Amino acid sequence: MADLHRFANPTRFLKLAGIIQPWALAVFLLSITVGLYMAFFTAPADYQQGESARIMYVHVPAAWMAMFCYTVMAVASAVSLIWKHPLADVSARATAPIGAAFTFLSLATGSLWGKPMWGTWWVWDARLTSVLVLLFLYIGYMALQGAFDDRVRAAKASAILALVGFVNVPIIKFSVDWWNTLHQPASVIKMGGSSIHPSMLWPLLIMAIAFKAYYVWVLMVRMRQELVANKVRILRLKQVHGG
């Protein structure tokens, strides 16, 4: 793991972050502009759901990001637990609020879509319930990170929670196949090709790129903040101990 530890050096990471951040912002701004334009002007109304299907272009990317962020958090937590890599915990911490925001958005936009189409804001089916559990996992993770004064213990406890909670991610993904749910099965990623017409799939994918770029950009900002906060903590300790 010598290679991995090269990046443990925060100055090296900060340099890298300095390069990635403006690019991520540029990709985000470009793809969100194109994505929104396509979502409203080139994408047609759905044959059954009419104009309400346009909610898909924020709902689906948000739901993908909710699961993606949790996966990042779980992998980073495993790295943090096993190899004690300092940047791993920092990246997991920085990801949690972004993932929680995406999870909230997927639930809220799903509700706004469900009311006119299904006839209800909310049902306790396997898909909706497991995503709600995901939101609670994010909140629990953030609470646990904040609950300890000792950063090492906080990192350990929350990493364990993130790993245990990861079982929920495949449950979310396959809930629509394993059980009868009100939520329909997957459209984009499924056997035998996607069941979304290309004129609707493209804006969806571009919006997904936009959301991912947004995540990378905010992640860089948040990780830099965490690293500066570490330095502040060290400085304060030095002062207390007669600096």
Partner 1 sequence: MKRKHKRLTFVIIAMALLGIAVGLVLMAFEENIVFFNSPTDIATTQPGPDKRLRLGGLVEEGSVVREAGSTVTRFRVTDLENVVDVVFDGILPDLFREGQGVIAEGKYINGAFQASEVLAKHDEQYMPPEVADALKKSGQWKGDETMKTQPQENK
Partner 2 sequence: MNEFLEMGGYAAFVWPAYGLSAGVLVVIAWLSIRDLKNTQNTFEKLSGEKEKSK
Instruction: Enumerate binding residues for partner 1 (CB under 8 A).
Output: 1, 44-49, 53, 56, 78, 81-84, 116-120, 123-126, 163-164, 166-167, 171, 178-182, 184-187, 190, 195-197, 199-200
Question: Among 115, 153, 190, 197, which residue sits at the site for partner 2 (rule: CB under 8 A)?
Answer: 115
Radius of gyration of the chain from its Cα atoms, rounded to whole angstroms: 20
| For partner 2, the closer CB: 171 or 207 | 207
By CB under 8 A, is residue 232 in contact with partner 2?
yes
Report in angstroms how near the CB of residue 4 gets to partner 2 at its nearest.
25
Question: Among 58, 67, 208, 213, which residue sits at the site for partner 2 (rule: CB under 8 A)?
Answer: 58
Report in angstroms how near the CB of residue 13 gets to partner 1 at its nearest.
21
By CB under 8 A, is residue 59 in contact with partner 2?
yes
Which of partner 2, partner 1, none sits in contact with 78, Cβ below 5 to 8 A by type?
A: partner 1
By CB under 8 A, is residue 85 in contact with partner 2?
no
| For partner 2, the closer CB: 78 or 112 | 112
Taking a C-beta distance cutoff of 8 angstroms, is the pair 161, 182 a contact?
no
Report in angstroms how near the CB of residue 129 gets to partner 1 at its nearest.
9
> Which string of DSSP letters, residue by residue, matches 138-160?
HHHHHHHHHH-SSHHHHHHHHHH
Whole-number Å distance between alpha carbons of 235 and 229: 10
By CB under 8 A, is residue 222 in contact with partner 2?
yes
Look at the alpha carbons of 47, 48, 52, 58 in this order and tell me if their dihedral is positive or negative.
negative
Q: State the DSSP H helix or E strand holding residue 70, giving kind and residue range, or none if neither.
A: helix 56-83
**Burial category of 206 from C-beta neighbours within 10 Å (exposed 0-12, middle 13-18, buried 19 and up):** buried
Taking a C-beta distance cutoff of 8 angstroms, is the pair 229, 90 a contact?
no
Whole-number Å distance between alpha carbons of 16 and 77: 21
Backbone angles phi, psi at 148, to 5 degrees: -110, 140
Identity of the amino acid at 96: A
Contacts with partner 2 by CB under 8 A lie at 40, 45, 50-52, 54-55, 58-59, 62, 97-98, 101, 104-105, 108-109, 112-113, 115-116, 214, 217-218, 221-222, 224-225, 228-229, 231-232, 235-236, 238-239, 243
